[in-house]
A and B are shown apart, each in its own frame.
Chain A
Amino acid sequence: MRKNFLGIAAIVMALSASAFTAPNRSNAKLVTYKWFQITANRTTDQSVPASGATYLGESETPPTGSGCNNLSNRQCVSGFTAAQVTGSNQLDGPQVPEAIAATRN
């Protein structure tokens, strides 16, 4: 019984700690990316040319995109920082994404 109590106490502590250290969306530094639908055939570690990316929008959470099935390592929806994108929301030359939200075949 004492041994089980130790385990249960560990679970309670872990759940409390994880809730305490989880990112607080209301006052945390929010990271937003400029999301692009990647039409170029690029693996997740390759740069994307401007001609192979269509701007979807800017947000913390990525948009769904189209044709993304997450079954390969080809970029489908990728996130870039403002520094990687021009004022007209085109990629500023070939860019390696900061975040990859979805992949496709």
Chain B
Amino acid sequence: MKRINASDLIAALLILLYVYTAASKLLSFNDFQMQMRQQVFPAWFKEVLIWILPLAELFVAVLLLIPSTRQTGLGLSAVLLLAFTLYIGLALVHVFDRVPCSCGGVFRRMGWKLHFWFNLFFLLSNSYAIVRTVRERRTAAS
């Protein structure tokens, strides 16, 4: 039985993050819909995001859960986190004149600055897990 390593812990944390945020959005779906409709994206994109975001989060969580798809999950997770972090960064420098937080659960109370650092921490951890996983595979292959 293989021991749990840092990549496994990071994957578990990411699963916790994605399942929590997706479930929070789905449990308050009306609120989430209304907040998303006030975002500064084109209308068609907002309607797509309303459904895609929670489903993508759950999909990534499933990929992270299954060992054979974990690396794919880590990659997609990094893309998602990068997109979220960039969005929050742009909101912090007031690129958007109107940024309601369509965040789920406790993240609504976080404030943009804390949310930015929180996302950055997960993005860096995610990146570390990717690098570690790739190295482990190379070591196992050689």
Chain A positions within 8 Å of B, measured between CB atoms, are 1-4, 6-11, 13-15, 17-19, 21-23, 44-45, 61-62, 70-74, 79, 99-103
Contact between chains at A3 and B8 (CB < 8 Å): yes
Cβ contact of A4, chosen from B13, B40, B67, cutoff 8 A: B67
B37 to chain A: closest residue by CB: A100
Cβ–Cβ < 8 Å partners of B67 in chain A:
3-4
Cβ contact of A99, chosen from B27, B38, B98, cutoff 8 A: B38
List B1-47 residues whose CB lies under 8 Å from chain A.
1-4, 8-9, 11-13, 15-20, 23-24, 27-28, 30-31, 33-34, 37-38, 40, 42-44, 46-47
A89 to B73 CA separation, bound complex (whole angstroms): 51
Contact between chains at B8 and A6 (CB < 8 Å): yes
Contact between chains at B98 and A45 (CB < 8 Å): yes
Interface: B105 (CB within 8 A): yes
- B65-99 vs A, CB cutoff 8 Å, 1 = contact: the mask equals 10100000000000000000000000000000110
A73 to B45 CA separation, bound complex (whole angstroms): 10
From residue B33, how far is it (CB to closest CB) to chain A in Å? 8
How many B residues touch A, CB cutoff 8 Å? 40
From residue A22, how far is it (CB to closest CB) to chain B in Å? 4
Contact between chains at A71 and B47 (CB < 8 Å): yes
Cβ–Cβ < 8 Å partners of B23 in chain A:
14-15, 18-19
A-B contact pairs, 24 of them (CB 8 A): A2-B3, A3-B4, A7-B65, A10-B15, A10-B19, A11-B15, A14-B16, A14-B19, A14-B23, A18-B20, A18-B104, A18-B105, A21-B105, A22-B28, A23-B31, A44-B38, A44-B43, A45-B40, A45-B97, A61-B30, A70-B37, A71-B43, A71-B44, A100-B34
B16 to chain A: closest residue by CB: A10
A103 to chain B: closest residue by CB: B43
Cβ–Cβ < 8 Å partners of B31 in chain A:
23
From residue A96, how far is it (CB to closest CB) to chain B in Å? 9
Interface: B64 (CB within 8 A): yes
Interface: B61 (CB within 8 A): yes
